[in-house]
């Protein structure tokens, strides 16, 4: 549950069509606007991998603004080069840990769409505290969703997907709809591969009808961690 400190103390990086740079203005409301000025609605992808979906969306919708977060530096650097080659002035990438960036840097309720596709399920019990979706962290993810916005989620790890579906079903104000497929087809390299292989995928479209708050089942853990800090 990375609410208080950045990934390993590394300097946070951002990439735009102009190149890679340190992420300045941490915690400032205007920091994101300096990356991509404008008035277009934002879309956010957590864990963009090689950038297939995010960059394709940015190319197809120049009137919108797109932000991606990736913790793997190899993928961040690859996507940053692709972003620069395509000269996409409406997209920016961040290298860092998603939960930290959501809790400490990014504004609340700024994204009309939040995309999370095939996140690491961390199946071992001792690693599950690292999950993007848990009772102690789900409010950070949903907290990025703008009023009337949507969270889009997919995983091939069905046990984890059912846990996420149950978590969202018990979150006040969240409504999750299961999807058999996306209207625009597979959205990531993983999804395209798994569809070809006939592997089952759990997909969710989530709307939020209330102001994001701590999940009732995670409140005690979050408050305890905050008190320890």
Catalytic residues: 120
CA distance 58 to 186: 16
CA distance 163 to 208: 18
CA distance 78 to 49: 9
Query: How do strand 13-16 and strand 91-95 relate by DSSP bridges?
Result: antiparallel
CA distance 63 to 211: 27
Half-sphere exposure of 22 (CA within 13 A, CB side): 5
Tokens of 126: 């001792």
Tokens of 148: 């009337």
Straight-line distance from the first to the last Cα atom of the chain, in angstroms, rounded to the nearest whole number: 13
By CB atoms closer than 10 A (0-12, 13-18, 19+), residue 9 is exposed
Q: How many residues does the chain have?
A: 229
């Amino acid at each position: 549950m990375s609410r208080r400190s950045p990934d390993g103390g590394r300097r946070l990086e951002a990439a735009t069509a102009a190149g890679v740079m340190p992420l300045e203005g941490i915690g400032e409301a205007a920091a994101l606007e300096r990356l991509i000025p404008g008035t277009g609605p934002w879309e956010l992808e957590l864990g963009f991998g090689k950038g297939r979906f995010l960059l394709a969306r940015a190319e197809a919708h120049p009137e919108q603004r797109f932000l991606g977060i990736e913790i793997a530096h190899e993928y961040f650097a690859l996507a940053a080069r692709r972003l620069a080659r395509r000269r996409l002035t409406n997209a920016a990438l961040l290298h860092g840990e998603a939960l930290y960036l959501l809790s400490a840097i990014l504004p609340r309720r700024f994204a009309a769409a939040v995309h999370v596709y095939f996140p690491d399920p961390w199946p071992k019990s001792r690693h599950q505290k690292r999950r993007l979706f848990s009772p102690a962290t789900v409010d950070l993810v949903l907290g990025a969703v703008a009023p009337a916005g949507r969270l889009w989620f997919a995983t091939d790890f069905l046990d984890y997907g059912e846990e996420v579906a149950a978590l969202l079903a018990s979150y006040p104000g969240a409504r999750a709809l299961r999807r058999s497929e996306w209207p625009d087809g597979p959205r990531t390299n993983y999804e395209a591969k798994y569809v070809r292989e006939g592997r089952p995928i759990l997909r969710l479209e989530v709307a939020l009808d209330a102001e994001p708050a701590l999940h009732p089942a995670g409140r005690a853990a979050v408050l305890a961690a905050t008190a320890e800090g």
